[in-house]
Amino acid sequence: MQKSSLEISKTPFNNLPPLTKEEALKILSKPIDQLELSSDYYKAVFHLFDFPGPDTEQVLLELVKSESEEHCILIARRKAIEVLARHGCINAIPEIGKCLESSDPYLVENAAWALQELSCKDQILIKRISNLIDDPKQNRRLLIQVLGTLGGVSEVSRIKAFLKEESLHPGVRGACIAAIMRLSGESIQTNQLIKYLALPNQNDRQCAVNDVINSRNINLLPWVLKTPVAPSFRLRALNLLWPFDIESVNQLDLLMTIDSVIIDDPHDLDLLGEDHLIKEDSSLVRELMSTDFKKCYMALKILAKKNPTEIWPILSMHLEDMKKDYGALYFLMILFRSIPDWDPICLNAIKSIAFSCLGKDWPDFMKFRPAAILTLFKLYPSLSINYASNWLNESSTPFWACRYATLLAIEPLLGKGVDPILTEQILKSKSDTHRFVSAKAKRIELELLT
């Protein structure tokens, strides 16, 4: 399936050198032959995201209007459309809409996505998006997702007709099923979506999770929770599908479900089709660095049964590489707390790695951060208590899953000499801005009172 230009632009790290607003505007005023680098236009647009306002909007609109075929301008136009949408510039809708006529499928894709972000109501533009799904050069999955958001019931028959094509990629078919559910409430081919959650390709599984979210069908949540993808996908599904102020849905308890996803025991996932061939421990350790999370979970499941004296020498050979791999770090955190009886030397190394996961060298929202908190509490509960107030503070710990993990780790320690100041901080978490953290704190308060 065609790779999305929007997906490509989303990376955990921003390595572009910083620019002021004046510097960015100055670059965009230069003719191409005066640029130092061909990527300067893109870089300038990228940094204008930090400076919304009428002058920024005007400059970006002029760029969007450009009909130049120069590659450096084309990629900057794509980014300009994205920035205008993120700034909520509804005045840009007409010019962005014209980009749907472009021969560049990535420009079309960004334009359609931007119109969705801006809640476009222009029926002519929506119809144009609908017509584009017949073009195999386009990102049909995204176009259908946009129709599922912007379109009305009138688009359902159009999507149903398109769904009859037998050669559709699962990502495109799944988007159609989700759009029909969202627009009409009609659950057709629901079993197909469930089947896609178990596809061998990780990207297909991730698409299927997003399709369930877009369908708004909470009845499919139990299958999502068993899907071997990054926990962020399952947490996102919980966050977006679970109704507000309801503790139990379809025999699922909200907090028990969140606990399970945060702990992320591989035994709770659907790993059917796992490779039953006996693999050497070195191969299993290397699989913790796989880009396919299903392979990582399968390796983790086996490694967690190993003796620490057997596994540590092999782990230590790969630790330097694993410390640079944020997926591997996540699975290391689970592995470290799953194996008992580490010797003191190993424990010191584990402690160092876990604290490095919580350091300033990484972005705040890395998936291994809550995992590191659980690991430190499991192996060093007395030490971890000293950091709990900081980990529960929204200013110092903006990732809600970290704050939730802290409450989850503290919960078994209640009544065992927990500092009254920490208890006060736990109770303050009842006012946490994230509803799941707040709900967890309220549940703990009830436990304290009983």
pLDDT for 46 equals: 95
Answer whether residue 403 is part of any domain.
Answer: yes
Q: pLDDT tens-digit profile of 206-217? A: 999 999 999 999
Q: pLDDT tens-digit profile of 346-382? A: 999 999 999 999 999 999 999 999 999 999 999 999 9
**Domain C-terminal end among 85, 120, 155:** 120
Average pLDDT over residues 314-338: 96
Residue 85 has pLDDT above 50, yes or no: yes
Residue 15 has pLDDT above 80, yes or no: no
Answer whether residue 287 is part of any domain.
Answer: no
Answer whether residue 348 is part of any domain.
Answer: yes
Confidence of residue 277 (pLDDT cuts 50, 70, 90): low
Among 89-98, 246-255, 364-373, the minimum mean pLDDT is found in 246-255
DSSP string over 267-288:
GGS--TT---S---HHHHHHHT
Answer whether residue 172 is part of any domain.
Answer: no
Domain carrying residue 319: 304-449
Answer whether residue 345 is part of any domain.
Answer: yes
Burial 365-399 (b: 16+ CB within 10 A, else e): ebbbbbbbbbbbbbbbeeebbebbbebbbbeebeb
Answer whether residue 346 is part of any domain.
Answer: yes
pLDDT for 434 equals: 97
**Domain C-terminal end among 120, 146, 161:** 120
pLDDT for 217 equals: 93
Nearest-10 Cα torsion for 141, 143, 144, 149: 130
pLDDT for 9 equals: 43
pLDDT for 1 equals: 53
* Furthest C-alpha separation in the chain: 74
Number of domains in the chain: 2
Count other C-beta atoms under 10 Å from residue 412's C-beta.
11
Confidence of residue 275 (pLDDT cuts 50, 70, 90): low
Answer whether residue 41 is part of any domain.
Answer: yes
Q: pLDDT tens-digit profile of 98-111? A: 999 999 999 999 99
Q: pLDDT tens-digit profile of 179-226? A: 999 999 888 888 999 999 999 999 999 999 999 999 999 999 999 999
Answer whether residue 169 is part of any domain.
Answer: no
